[in-house]
Amino acid sequence: MAATLRYFMLPEDERSLFRHLAPQGLTLYPEAFPPGTSGVPADEAAQEHLDREAYYLAAERLGPVIVRPLKRGRDKGLFEIAEIPSPVFHYERSVRNEEGELVGGRLWGELDVTDAPEARGMGKPLALKRIFEDVHQFFRKSWRRSDPKGWWIGPAAAARARAGQLVLREPGHKGREVAVWR
């Protein structure tokens, strides 16, 4: 079972998240990339390099990031990261849609397969779970909860949503509107 954090964040909130992640030494990779691509360090300066909606946050210090070539589709010949064997999180950015509404993003990672002895080589490092819990604690400490439940809202996004300057929308074809709780 995968662990998921769903959130709404404006660029200021994303910058503070990357500032929080900087000591972890994570690297950002696009979902599909040409051979020889090196990742961008996930720190405060990374945001200016992000031009896509989704990336992988790789913890390369915890183990090798396994890549495989794409054999079909529009990205044929590019590489993609194998999520299950690699120490990575899938990071979907919270971006604005055509109407100017902020669409939610998510941080997803397969954490149930661990490096415990009984896992027999199929392990993910327990340190990856600690990184995920660290991000979850960061959200609990300074971010707002949503109504309906299940979303974290960054401080800047919450302030603008409460002032009526920003609409928060769940992703998907018929995503419903989300409000700041209390």
Would you kindly state where each structural domain of the chain is located, as residue ranges? 2-143
Can you give the pLDDT at residue 12?
Answer: 96
The average pLDDT across 109-127 equals: 69
Please give the DSSP secondary-structure letter assigned to residue 104: P
Residue 113 has pLDDT above 70, yes or no: no
Residues 6+ apart with CB under 8 A from 86: 56, 58, 63, 64, 65, 66
Distance CA 24, CA 109 (A): 16
Distance CA 93, CA 91 (A): 6
Per-residue pLDDT of 8-65, as tens digits, reads 999 999 999 999 999 999 999 999 999 989 899 999 999 999 999 999 999 999 999 9
> Tokens in use for 10?
């404006």
Instruction: Count CA atoms within 13 Å of residue 88 on its CB side.
Output: 25
